[in-house]
Amino acid sequence: MARLERGIGCADTRDKTRQQVVSLIRSAGQIARIDIAAETGVSPATITAITQEMIQAGLVEEVAPGTGRPASGRGRPRVSLKLRGDAHLLAGIKVSFRTLSVVLVDFEGTSVAEHVAPLSAPRVSPEALAVEIRALLAAATAEIGQTVDDISGLGVGLAGTIDAIAGFVHWSPSLTASNVALRDLLEAALPMPVFLDNDANLVAKAEQLFGEARGVRDFIVVTIEQGVGMGIVIDGEVYRGTRGCGAEFGHTKVHLDGALCRCGQRGCLEAYVADYALLREADVSMPGEAGSSAEDRLNRLFLAARAGEPTAHSITHRAARMFAMGLANLVNIFDPRLLILSGERMSHDFLYSDEVLAAIRDEVVQVDAPPPEVKIHKWGDQMWAKGAAAYAMEGVTDLAVRRLAIDA
């Protein structure tokens, strides 16, 4: 495993081409040099030079087409290139309400180990989080006979308002402190570079690299978990806004002077569709046994709604209509090619019912062209963690490419 230093150099045009070449090889699986030149519009001579550097640096290897194995050199029709899986080991961590999930992937993106550990508390101090992350990485690497020192980069995703570029957490429901330079804190506690982002952006990254959005340049992912999140990808890049905080879909307003949101404002989408909002209504109109957990009360609500109990049905129906309105607004603003609804809460079907999909179609601007495709992708914390690993993979590729530029 190669070791990488943090924060070397800055990207020039040739760096950008190198990064483009790596992402093209990654998305293609394997691809010939001549096809890389055609796809990037860069001259075959430059592609040959760049890929030669990458082969020498151990990032890329040659394969005979269709075999997926290193080329033998005898009677080969046309040599393709693929990434070298063992070039780097990357880790992705998803910080959830009560758990930490980690996925270790090789440089090709293949999962090599997965591990889940309970968080000591739903909200922890940044210092405690660093300690728990280190222990989780130690446990996960031990499963494959490696150590924390073998990891080239770590991606961490958590909910909240996060400036990914600065590695700064303005606020997160997982942390007891606000305004934390969490990336610096984690890098001081761990031996590898750390890449931090809002978890919804990391789901967008995972969809782009491994999921439903492969090959799609413009798409939106809406995540439904404790709250509602969103990742926007425009022309292949995650859109992060001016403050680096990205999209706060859950706090777009759907009702003037509406229900109170946990952000302190009124009429936010989350105040109608998030778990706490559903429970707030259910607790008033269908009180249950004292002491039952929020999860139990929610499940009871969903079961009653599915069974056609009128009060439960009206609660979920209203949430579904609000959600559809929010989604239609997104389509009207962005006109994406693809809208992906993603997350654990998707196991509760009212938010992605045919009724919601029909309402979106009714509420988007009607033109003589098909509306964007809406895909539903249910996945658990491990896939969110894989998105974090994908983010680390990009970060480590950047660092490796910059090092090539320095060595060239």
Contact footprint for Zn ion (CB under 5 A): 251, 261, 263, 265, 268
Residue 265 or 292: which CB sits closer to Zn ion? 265
* Distance (Å, whole) CA 58 – CA 79: 17
Residue 274 or 360: which CB sits closer to Zn ion? 274
Min dist CB 251 to Zn ion, Å, is 4
Candidates 55, 51, 58; CA nearest to 14 is 51
Residue 34 or 260: which CB sits closer to Zn ion? 260
Which residues touch 150 (CB under 8 Å, ≥6 apart)?
A: 1, 89, 141
Candidates 265, 273, 162, 178; CA nearest to 226 is 273
Compute the residue count for the chain. Answer: 408
Residue 128 or 263: which CB sits closer to Zn ion? 263
Min dist CB 327 to Zn ion, Å, is 17
Name the β-bridge partners of 100.
95, 117
In sequence order, which ranges of 29-125 are alpha helices (DSSP H)? 33-40, 44-56
* Distance (Å, whole) CA 214 – CA 159: 24
Min dist CB 348 to Zn ion, Å, is 21
Decide: helix, strand or coil at residue 191.
Answer: coil
CB-CB neighbours of 3 under 10 Å? 10
Residue 251 or 345: which CB sits closer to Zn ion? 251
Min dist CB 80 to Zn ion, Å, is 49
Min dist CB 260 to Zn ion, Å, is 9
Min dist CB 274 to Zn ion, Å, is 9
Which residues touch 304 (CB under 8 Å, ≥6 apart)?
A: 286, 311, 312, 313
Residue 276 or 371: which CB sits closer to Zn ion? 276
Q: Do 362 and 72 meet the contact criterion of CB atoms below 8 Å apart?
A: no
Min dist CB 166 to Zn ion, Å, is 23
Decide: helix, strand or coil at residue 275.
Answer: helix
* Distance (Å, whole) CA 378 – CA 2: 35
Min dist CB 270 to Zn ion, Å, is 5
Which residues touch 313 (CB under 8 Å, ≥6 apart)?
A: 304, 305
Min dist CB 316 to Zn ion, Å, is 20
* Distance (Å, whole) CA 143 – CA 73: 36
Which residues touch 141 (CB under 8 Å, ≥6 apart)?
A: 89, 104, 113, 147, 148, 150, 151
Residue 93 or 162: which CB sits closer to Zn ion? 162
